[in-house]
Amino acid sequence: MMENLFYVYLSFIFLIVLVINMLTPNFTRKEIVFGVRVPGNKIDSPEIKGIKGRFIKNNLIIGVPFILLFSFLNYKFTNVTVILITVFAFVFINFLVYMISNREVKVLKLKNSWFKGKKQVVAVDVSYSRDKGKNLVPLRLFLIPLSIILINIILGYVNYAALPHRVPIHWDFSGNIDGYQLKSRFLIWEIPLFQMASTFMFFIICKIIGWSRQQLNVSDPEISVKKDMRFRRVWSVYMVIFAAAMNLLLTFGTIQIFGVFRVSNLLVGILTVAFAGFMILITMVLSIRIGQGGSNLDIGKDSFGKTESEVIDKDDDSFWKLANTIYYNPDDPSLFVEKRFGVGWTINAGRPAGMAIYIGMIALLVIIVIVAKNTAP
């Protein structure tokens, strides 16, 4: 019964990924359509609207059958390898659907020579480098998730003596123990170390929000600056909240393992699923409400895209590779830039440090896959 619930949950994850993929054009900057920069007065053209409509249709026509197929394969062949293959395959299929739309916009842009004869400029806020740290949440607020880690360590030391020789460390959804570990001092640090790694990751993301290059619209640079500042602040606050919420959730693991007080295993399972669903929902709501770079925020009288202008944002598509998903510009000193599809940042692969990060991420992914395959029952 519990195995069946796992595969239902996995199918639900596939469905969430599909929905997020369909909604992503609503997160992205208005002038960036499927990774391609277009003039502001063309973003609501019938051709662009048609491409967006076909993107949703393609997601449904291609994505839904594959969700059914992959769900069946995972149910029929109870194997970690099959799960990994279907997950990576589904991500790749979603990328192919995006590539179709990306190609359509590129062809449309080239055919109509939208940037020909236009003066292309880059808007710059000269005070950004000096004041960018002021736009973020005070980093001392990360003391909140760190204090939760300290509580976990204290709970471990206080309750360590009462632990049995074989300590239950994992339970299935029915509440049955399905994992043990021999009693050792490492148990005290096991969850806190994971919490430290998680908190450090959110701290680095928060710093990246401040480090990343600013992107402004030449048509409304002042309003664009205000949107960018609000965008960075909201997401930096979110990183602190996410870090604290994650550490609180993991604290239930410490409470269970050390028997601080009795907690229903079913309750912990429900809280874990509810937490994941709630954070996904909040992320989607913030992404739609704020948009990439604050593009969806209603601040001032934004005239972007309402009139045709001879001065437009510089067409920098030539620096974007692999369907405009990878930024490669050796002449740009920025290591982090806004991604072209969705909300967030990506890495400048043209910088030595950027290429090193990409190689490191690929190596880490390979290691995770190998470990998951070799440790599977």
Q: What was the pLDDT predicted at 1?
A: 47
User: What pLDDT, in 10s, does the model give residues 177-213?
Assistant: 767 788 888 888 999 999 999 999 999 999 999 888 8
Contacts of residue 117, defined as CB under 8 A and 6 or more positions apart, other chains included, come to none
Q: Is 206 exposed, middle or buried (0-12, 13-18, 19+ CB in 10 A)?
A: buried
- What tokens does 17 get? 């990924």
The whole-angstrom separation of Cα 85 and Cα 92 is: 10
| Amino acid of residue 79 | N
Per-residue pLDDT of the chain (377 residues; tens, 9 = 90+): 445 566 677 788 889 889 999 999 988 998 999 999 998 889 999 999 999 999 999 999 999 999 999 888 888 877 777 888 888 899 999 999 999 999 999 999 999 998 887 788 887 776 666 566 667 888 899 999 999 999 999 999 998 888 888 887 776 655 667 677 888 888 889 999 999 999 999 999 999 998 888 888 887 888 888 898 999 999 999 999 999 999 998 998 888 888 887 777 677 777 877 888 888 889 989 999 999 999 899 886 665 555 556 678 888 999 999 999 999 999 999 999 999 998 999 999 999 999 999 999 999 888 887 876 665 55
The whole-angstrom separation of Cα 284 and Cα 207 is: 22
Instruction: Specify the residue for token string 């009795």.
Output: 262
| Amino acid of residue 255 | I
136 and 145 Cβ atoms separated by less than 8 Å? no
Q: What was the pLDDT predicted at 363?
A: 93
Provide the Cα torsion 225, 41, 46, 44; round to 10°: 20
What DSSP assignment string belongs to 12-46?
Answer: HHHHHHHHHHHHHHHHS-TTEETTEE--GGGTTSH
Within 13 Å of residue 279, how many CA atoms lie on the same side as its CB? 15
CA-CA distances (angstroms) from residue 264 to 48, 171, 254, 308?
Answer: 52, 11, 13, 62
The whole-angstrom separation of Cα 4 and Cα 62 is: 25
Q: Rounded to 5 degrees, what are φ and ψ at 324?
A: 65, 35
